[in-house]
Structure 1
Amino acid sequence: MADTERVPTVVVDGVHITYTVLDGRSGTRRVHAVKGVSFVAYRGEAIGLIGSNGSGKSTLLKAVAGLQPVERGQVYTQGQPSLLGVNAALMGDLTGERNVILGGLAMGMSRAEVRERYDDIVEFSGINEKDDAVSRPMRTYSSGMGARLRFAIAAAKSHDVLLIDEALATGDARFRRRSQRRIDELRAEAGTVFLVSHSNSTITETCERALWLEAGTLRMDGPAREVVAAYEEYTGAGKHPQT
C-alpha cells in the first residue's frame, strides 16, 4: 500500500495507564501498566501484540476499545473499535442459539442480519460438529467452545477496528486456519485487526506487523517476523524472569 493511500485508523499518542489493585500487605497499590506508548495503525493492517505476561498488552487493547481510561496521553480511533468477545451479552443459562442472536445484536447487527448469518456463525464456530451443542445452555460448553463461538459472532460482521485477545489460541489447527482466513477477509474489507497472542507462530502467520510491549513500554514496532525474532532472542537469553 502506497504511503499516499495509508489511512490511519488508530493513533495512540504517549499513553500512560495506571490502576489500583488490592495488596495483602498495604491494602492497595498503584500499577503503572502502560508507560508512554505511541504508535499509528493503518487501514488494512493486521498487527500482533507480543510480550511477557503482565507487559500491558490486554490493558492497551482495552484502552483502544474505549473500555480502559488513560491517565495521560490520547487514543484516537476511526469508527467504533470492537473488542472480541461479547462476554457481557453471552449468558450461561441460555442456549448457544439464543446467545448467537444476542451476541450478534451486541456487535451491532440487525435482527435480519443475525438471521441471515446464523448458520454461517454456527458452522464457523464448529460447536455442532460432534453433537447439537447449539441447543444446549452455554454453561455446558468448554472454555474453548465458548471462545470459538465468540470469535465466530464477532467475525461475522465487518469492523473498522477489530481487537482480538488470544482468540486464536482456542480450537484445533483447522479452526485457527479458518480464523486466519477470516482475519484476512476483514483486512481486505478495509478494516484493521489487532491480535494479542502468546503464540509467536500465530502472530507471524496472521500479522505482517507486530508491537512488542515489555513492562508497559513499547520495545519494538516493525515487521512481525523481525519483532518476534527479537522477542524470542530476548526471552531465550534469560534476561528477565518469565511471569
Structure 2
Amino acid sequence: MAELTEELSLVKAEEPAVAGTDGKAKAQPKPAAPSAAQPKTAATSPLDVPTGTPTVIVDDLHIIYRVYGAASDAEKGNAVNALTRILRRQGRPQMKEVHAVKGVSFVAYHGDAIGIVGRNGSGKSTLLRAIAGLLPPHAGAVYTDGQPSLLGVNAALMRELTGERNIVLGCYAMGMTPAEVKDKYQEIVDFSGIDEFVQLPMSTYSSGMGARLRFAISSAKTHDVLLIDEALATGDREFRKKSEQRIRKIREEAGTVFLVAHDLRVIEETCNRVIWLHKGKIKMDGDPKEVLAAYNKG
C-alpha cells in the first residue's frame, strides 16, 4: 500500500509553474515516457517501475463470489432434499464462497496493450469485469482514469433489431454524436464484414457475425480503457488480422487495451505486456515473449 501511495503522489504532483503570455501561471507539461514493463514474478510488484501516465491502478484487489446450494452432496438442490429440509424445518443450504481474485495489484499506462493469460477459472474475466466496474471489490480497490469499456457492454446488441439499428444505438450508448455515428457507420459495416446482413435482424446472424459486429462498434471510438474478453476468438484469419491492427491503432491514440484470449499468438503479436493469472493471483507480469514462454512451460 505504501508503494501505491507513493505512485499516486508522484502522478498527482503538480509540475513547476511558468509564466504564460497572459501573465498567468501555466503548468509545465510532463514529458511522455514509453511504456515498457519489466518482467515480474509473484514476489515482485509492477508498481515498482512507473513508466508513464497511469490509466488503471489495481490495488490488492479481492473478488469473492457467494454461491448457495453447493456446500455438499447432501445439500444439493433437488426435490428430495428440498422436501427433507421443509419437513425438518431447515434453512437454505450452506453458502460457499469462491475467491476468484486474490490480492491482485498492478498499474497500466497510456499506450499499453496488456494481455491476460491463465487457465480456465484463473480469474481473467472476473478481473476485467472488476476493472469495468461491474463487480464490486470484496477488498482492495480499482482506480481508473476515464471510463473503462468492456467489449459487448456499451455495444449490447438486441436480436430483434437490425444490424443498422444496433450500430446506431451502440454508438449512441458510447456517447457518440449523430454526426459521429453517420461518419463511422459505413466503416463499422465494412470492418465487421456483415455486408447486406446489416438490414436483417440480429436473430438471423451467426454467433461469429454478432461478435464481429460488437467488436466493430466498440472499437469505432477511441476509449480511455478498452477491455476485450475473447472477442478475437471468433471470425476468420482476415478479421483477426484487422482486429489486431485496430488494437494497435487504439494504443497509438493513447488508449489502454486489456485483452483476454486463449490464442497466445494473438497476445504475443498484439500486446506489449502480459499478465499471467494463476488461481486468482499474478504469477508473472512483463514482456510477452518471456511471460508466454514461462506460461507454456508451466
**Under a length normalisation based on structure 1, what TM-score does the superposition of the two structures give?**
0.91
Counterpart among 129, 137, 140 of residue 70 in structure 1: 137
Counterpart among 12, 24, 29 of residue 96 in structure 2: 29
Aligned to 2:186: 119
Aligned pairs for 1:4-43 within 5 A: 6-24=52-70, 25=72, 26=75, 27=93, 28-43=95-110
1:29 positional shift: 1.7
Number of residue pairs aligned between Structure 1 and Structure 2: 231
Aligned pairs for 1:129-208 within 5 A: 132-208=196-272
Counterpart among 174, 178, 181 of residue 107 in structure 1: 174
Change over 3 Å in CA distance of 1:117–1:2 after alignment to 2: closer
In structure 2, what residue type is equivalent to 1:205? E
Q: Matches of 1:146 and 1:23 in 2, distance apart?
A: 34
In structure 2, what residue type is equivalent to 1:120? E
The reply to whether residue 94 of structure 1 matches residue 195 of structure 2 is no
Larger RCO (CA under 8 A, 6+ residues apart): 1
1:22 positional shift: 4.1
Give the match's secondary structure for 1:117.
helix
Structure 1 moving runs of 4+ over 3 Å: 1-5, 22-28, 86-89
Change over 3 Å in CA distance of 1:168–1:89 after alignment to 2: closer
1:186 positional shift: 0.5
Range with bigger deviation, 106-115 or 215-224: 106-115
In structure 1, what residue type is equivalent to 2:248? D
1:156 positional shift: 0.4
The reply to whether residue 53 of structure 1 matches residue 120 of structure 2 is yes
Change over 3 Å in CA distance of 1:88–1:47 after alignment to 2: closer
In structure 2, what residue type is equivalent to 1:35? K
1:87 positional shift: 7.0
The share of aligned pairs that are identical, in percent, is: 62
CA deviation profile, 1:174-228 (whole Å, cap 9, x unmatched)? 1011111111111110000000001111100110100000110111001111111
Q: Gapped runs of 5+ residues in structure 2?
A: 1-32, 36-49, 76-92
1:139 positional shift: 1.1
Q: Matches of 1:103 and 1:40 in 2, distance apart?
A: 29
Give the match's secondary structure for 1:144.
helix
Which protein is bigger by CA-based radius of gyration? Answer: 2
In structure 2, what residue type is equivalent to 1:9? T
Equivalent residues of 1:86, 1:150 under 8 A apart:
no
In structure 2, what residue type is equivalent to 1:155? S
